[in-house]
Amino acid sequence: MIHQGSCHCGAIAFEADGDLEQVIACNCSICSKRGALHWFIPAEHFRLLTPPDQMGTYTFNKHIIQHRYCLKCGCAPYSEGIAPTGKAVVAVNARCLDEVDVSTLKQLPFDGRSL
């Protein structure tokens, strides 16, 4: 299934392919403050539909995840990184997907605070 998503103002828009059944609820400092619910997909299943010049990038701690955010509205719709398998992945914030009721998704806790 193809899911449409964006930041709050629409300056960052994207499509993500896959079956969305569960998300990761990370408790690290940034994820808990943003309230992000991550849907991890292979990078090739993600398509940015708007120019990347509307985005800023934030990294912290080990600087291995690029947290993307909108320069206009500040919303953070996705992050990019490398999975432990060595493959490129995108962590889509399910809260930024159109027509998705996140309360229906299985939420798996992840202890990012301890890493």
State the pLDDT at residue 115. 77
Q: What is the pLDDT of residues 25-40, one digit of tens each?
A: 999 888 999 999 999 9
Q: What is the pLDDT of residues 58-110, one digit of tens each?
A: 988 888 899 999 999 999 999 999 988 999 999 999 999 999 999 999 999 99
- pTM to 2 decimal places: 0.92
Kindly tell me if the per-residue pLDDT of 7 is higher than 80.
yes
State the pLDDT at residue 64. 85
State the pLDDT at residue 108. 95
- Which residues, 6+ apart, have CB-to-CB distance to 14 below 8 Å? 4, 5, 6, 46, 47, 48, 49, 50, 77, 78, 92
Its sign, for the CA torsion 87, 28, 55, 101, is positive
Identify the structural domains of the chain with CATH numbers, from first to last.
2-114 (2.170.150.70)
Kindly tell me if the per-residue pLDDT of 113 is higher than 90.
no
State the pLDDT at residue 27. 92
Mean pLDDT, range 41-52, rounded to an integer? 96
